[in-house]
Structures are given as structure tokens and as C-alpha cells.
Chains A and B, each alone.
Chain A
Amino acid sequence: MHINPLRAVASDRLALTGFAILSSIVLMAILAPVLTFFPPDYYTGLIFSPPSYSHLLGTDSMGQDIWSRLLFGARTTLLVAASVAILSTTLSVLVGASSALVGGMYESICMRVVDAMHSIPPIIVMILVAAYLRPNLLIMILLISILSWPTGARVVRSRVLSLKERGHVYASRTFGASWGHILKSHIAPEMGPLLIAMMIQDARRAVFLEAGMGFLGVSDPTIISWGKMIQQALDFTYLDVWKWWLLPTGLALSLTLMGLCFIGFSLEAAMDPRLAPRSVEGAVEKC
């Protein structure tokens, strides 16, 4: 019996809201050079200029156009989110699926590592390492992925373990199918929605961590990051600039996180209708 959770999600209002939010942010990121007159690092000569026709959101304390920084910040956020989602999920699948299929000593070592990594909040390790390395985008993506994969690996492992005991997999094995074939035609299709849910979760964590590192001022200073913009703007709350500096940036970040959260929540609810009440709670906990 194949239920396609993706179809259920496509008609869910919550997920559609999430899609709408995310697509507008993706559009912002892609069209960034078209939507603004100024490169994000361009010194306009005006400091703390209020919003005007040429500077939609005014300029910041460094005389840079806030609207362009917001647009190019979306690129950073989405780049980190997408790369971490792909990289971390790939790692989860490799470790999770291989330990479920190989078993034995290999499995227990892998799961020990996963459990140990799972018990420390990633942000603590992230702050520690970032304080020394001041990571650029590439190192940031690698770091977040390395810290994110264990949760997913556990999920993949238990799913593969249960899938490989299913009747049709047994049937296929009695016909002499190789593990490679079983993986391709019986296990992989069932894993699709789960992997998408994992990628969304990884993306959300990555957005938060990237913004958090910017907010704490430990990422590479040349990265245009919403978190760093919020942190810089927070020093000037005594001026009126927060209205077009702090507020839009914070809203953009919150909307991105909410958009991912809505889609993830709706997907998880659709994947297991029996567990719907549990997954309400699970989804919110992760938000």
C-alpha cells in the first residue's frame, strides 16, 4: 500500500503557506541584483538615511543600502540551508542505511557515535569551533553538516531496519534479488518523503545556526548574514533606524524559519496519519 504523503502535503493549507513564504524568499535571493540599484557592500555616502526612493530601507551605520543587504543576505541563508540539507542528509543516509544493512560491530560503533553526538546541542560545539576558526561559508556549511547528520542517521537506520523485514522485500529476496536491487526498487521509493522531511529539518537548523553565528559575531566578517545585520542593528535601538533595519531583517529570518517549519510539520503529519497528534508535538518541538 503506497500512500503518497507529498500529494497530501500539496493540498494542505499550512504547507502551501510555507511554500508561498519560501518561494518569495527564493525569488528575492535569485533576483537580488535586479531588485536593487546597489551592490551590498557599496558605500553610498549616506549614513542612517531613512527610507527613500533610491534606498527602500534606508542605509545602515556603515552607509550601506539595507535593502540590498537584505536581498543578498537571503542568498547566504538559502545557500547554507540548501547545502547543509543535501550534505547532512547524504551523510545520514550513508551512515544510517549502511549500519542497518551491515549490522554487527559496525552498526554498534556507528550508533555509539550518533548517540554521543546527539547528546550535545550542536550550537555549543559550533560556537567553540567558530570562535577559533571564524568560518567562511564553505567551512560553515561543512561544520553544520557534520553536527547535523546524527539525528537523521538514526531515523534512516530504523526505517531501513523495518523496511527490510517487510513481506515484499522478503519475497524479492527469495527470487534472488541482490541488496543493491532491493535498495533501489523497494527501499529507496519508501524513503523519499522521509528524506525530504529530514532535509527540511536540516535546512531549518542550518538557517538558525548560520544566523546565530552571525548574531554572536563569530562567522567570517565578509559574509552578508541576517544574523549579523540583526546584531549590528541591535546597537542602535535608540535611533529610529530599527524600524527599517532591525525589524525587516528579523522578520525575514523568522519568516524563513516559519516557512520551513510549516512545510516540515505538514509533511510529517501527512506521513503518519495515525501519529498526527504526536507529530504536532514533535514538529513544534523542533521549530
Chain B
Amino acid sequence: MKNERLGRGSIINYLIALAAIFSLNFVLPRLMPGDPLHAIYGDEALVAMTPEMEAYLIRQFALDKSWSEQLSAYLIGLLHGDLGFSYYYKDQVSTVILGALPWTLLLAVLALALATVMGAVMGIEAGSRRGRLLDSGLTASLMFLGGFPMFFMGILLLLIFGVSLGWAPLSGAVTPYAGLEGVDYFLDFLHHLVLPILALVLVLVGDSFLITRNTVVSILGDAFILTARSIGCSQFAVKYTHTGRNSLLPLITETGMRIPHLLIQTLFIEIVFSYPGIGLLLNTALYSRDYPLLQGILLLLTVIVLTVNLAVDLLYRKLDPRVRYAH
């Protein structure tokens, strides 16, 4: 199924998807009943609004002009990287988002790397012992863990290790106002990082494990493995050099395709652990009805997801020549 959409039109598809999100962002606030300024900025923001500010905003969004002029004002703003003004944070939306983005990237990238490497190693070990206790045990338990919705996995860890045992902090990325420096600061930071990462890894690792395991099982019957064994390669070399390297391709592509899913789950995990990334920002934006911030975040997520998808599509065709010939 997946290969079908890797055709020549994939870039066009992504452009269409992007345009659809842009138009949704533009049209939704203007379709809402009442004053579009209310819908764009939210009711709460208007309580604090002065007439001068209102006049300025109306001019900025070209709300006194026709639809086409409003649209061009909106697009020109976007091209300048102007996502609007967050009244909740009293700052430019782009600045607010860029401040939170590194935390989200830290969680997502670290969790993805850990889960992929751990999954690959366990997958190779289990696949080369197909049908034995280690294999069936790992498969069953990782599939069970993978069945949990990720944010509930986060909540479980929070309740067990944070609330009941008190081993880990309940929220945030560092202890606020602790005045820690150097190594202490870093340890505090790691202490806060453990649970969110663990939650993500526990759910993610099953995917990479199963892909690697299944590829390994199918590769182990191949002739070149038999050759490697017969010329006296060590068990380790056969497992990791011969089988491992050849099972990387499906692992890499499947991992890439799962990045959008991971990103969304990271947002929920951040909300559970009050980790100061994009997810927490999204939560704040939703609760304070800070619509410019909300739109900015969702726009950024869309762009990231589409870029990643496109990159994976292209990478896949590069990595596996068979795909290029097949289409």
C-alpha cells in the first residue's frame, strides 16, 4: 500500500495538503459567527484590547477589505514568518514556538533513537532464536506494551514512579528556582527527562523490534547466511554484520514513516509530564483560547510532518533501488 503513493506526484500531494491546511487556518476563524477579530484573537484577548490596538489589528489583517485582500495579507504575513501575536505570552507566536521547540525535539529524537537501537538489537537476538522462550516472551510483552495509548503509558509511569514511589519529579524539565549549576543542573535535567523518555520508548520499541525480528527471520534462511556460517564466521558476526545490516533497510524506512505519529504522541506525553515543549504550549493555547498561537503550532506541525514524509519518500527511493524500478 505504502509504495503506491511514492509515485512522481508525491511532491504535488504534499503541496496540496499544505495548501489545505493554510486555507483551513484562514477560513475557519472567518467562518465563525460574529466578529472575525473575536474568532482570530479569542474573546479573552478582546477584554484587554484598546481601540487603537483593535484598529491596528483590523488594518493588519485587512479585515476592512475584501476576501482576496485578506488572503494576500495573510499569505504575505506567513511568508515573512509572521504567525501573529500571542496575547497570552505577550510575544510573537514564532518566538514563543521557537522557545519550546528544542524540548520537543529533544524528547522525540532521543526517544526515537533509543527505541530504534534497542528494538533492533532485541529484534536481532529474538529473530535468531525464533520460537524459543526469549523470542516469544519479547514478542508478547512488547506487543502488549505497544498496545497502550502512549499518554496512558506516561500517566502510569508518572503514577508509579512519580506519585507512589517519589523517585522522579512530577513535572517540568528542570527544578524551577533551584539555582543549580554545572553537573548538578545536568543531573536535575536528566532526572526530569527519564520518565517522559521511558514512556515514549516503551511504546515505540515494539515497532522496531517486530520489524527487525521479522526481517531477520526471513533473511536467516538466505544463502549468504549459510555461506557466512560455513566459512566459519562467528555467531556474533553472522547476527550483526550479515543479518543486522541487511535488516536495516525496512527498519529505517518504517522508522521514518512513524515520525509523524511519534511527534503527535510526544505532544501528549509533554502534557502529561508538563514538559515545556510544543505539546504543553498547545495545551495552554487551547485552554486560554490563544488562537494565533494554536494556529502557529498546528501550522508548524503540519510543515514538519509533510517535510518528514517527503524526505522519507525520497530517501526510500534512494536506499532501495528496487522501488525505483518498480514504479
Contacts and interface: CB of A to CB of B under 8 A. Distances in A.
Interface of A: 112, 115-121, 123-125, 127-129, 131-132, 154-155, 158, 208, 211-212, 215-218, 230, 234, 237-238, 242, 246-247, 250, 253-254, 257-258, 261-262, 277-278, 280-281, 284-285, 287
Contact of B155 (A154, A155, A217, A230): A230
Interface stretch (B78-86, B92-100, B177-185, B257-265): B257-265
Contact of B158 (A237, A253, A257): A237
A142 B51 CA distance: 40
Interface in B109-166: 143, 146-149, 151-152, 155-156, 158-159, 162-163
Contact of B258 (A247, A280, A285): A285
Interface stretch (B66-74, B235-243, B302-310): B302-310
B39 interface: yes
Nearest to A285: B207
A277 B155 contact: no
Contact of A116 (B20, B28, B159, B254): B20
A212 B152 CA distance: 11
A253 B1 CA distance: 29
16 contacts: A112-B12, A116-B16, A120-B21, A120-B305, A121-B261, A124-B298, A125-B21, A128-B24, A218-B286, A237-B170, A242-B159, A247-B159, A253-B152, A254-B149, A277-B214, A284-B143
B24 A280 contact: no
B60 interface: no
B159 A121 contact: no
Given A234-B272, A250-B156, A121 B264 contact: yes
Overall SS of chain B's interface? helix
B130 to A, nearest CB: 11
Given A121-B305, A287-B146, 4 more contacts: A112-B13, A120-B21, A124-B298, A217-B286
B211 interface: yes
Given A128-B294, A131-B294, A120 B302 contact: yes
Contact of B39 (A132, A217, A280, A284): A132
Nearest to B170: A237
Interface string B203-216: 00011001100100
B32 interface: yes
Q: Choose among B13, B258, B283, B287 the residue with the greatest number of A CB atoms under 10 Å from its CB.
A: B13
Interface string B224-235: 000000000000
B63 interface: no
Contacts of A121: 260-261, 264, 305
A181 to B, nearest CB: 29
Given A119-B14, A234-B272, A281 B214 contact: yes
A281 B211 contact: yes
A120 B20 contact: yes
A223 to B, nearest CB: 16
B147 A257 contact: yes
A130 to B, nearest CB: 9
B210 A128 contact: no
Contacts of B264: 121, 123-124
Given A115-B13, A128-B294, A237 B286 contact: no
Contact of B17 (A117, A158, A217, A242): A117
B291 to A, nearest CB: 7
A254 B298 contact: no
A217 to B, nearest CB: 6
B17 A120 contact: yes
A278 B5 contact: no
Contact of B13 (A119, A125, A246, A277): A119
A208 B150 CA distance: 11
A154 B3 CA distance: 12
Contacts of A155: 1
Nearest to B203: A287
B29 interface: yes
Contacts of A281: 207, 210-211, 214, 254
B159 A246 contact: yes
Interface in B181-210: 206-207, 210
A124 B291 CA distance: 14
Given A119-B17, A124-B301, A277 B218 contact: yes
A215 B272 CA distance: 10
B176 interface: no
Given A117-B17, A218-B286, A285-B258, A128 B28 contact: yes
Contact of A242 (B163, B211, B268): B163
Contacts of A250: 152, 155-156
A258 B206 CA distance: 14
Contacts of B20: 116-117, 120
B9 interface: yes
B278 to A, nearest CB: 12
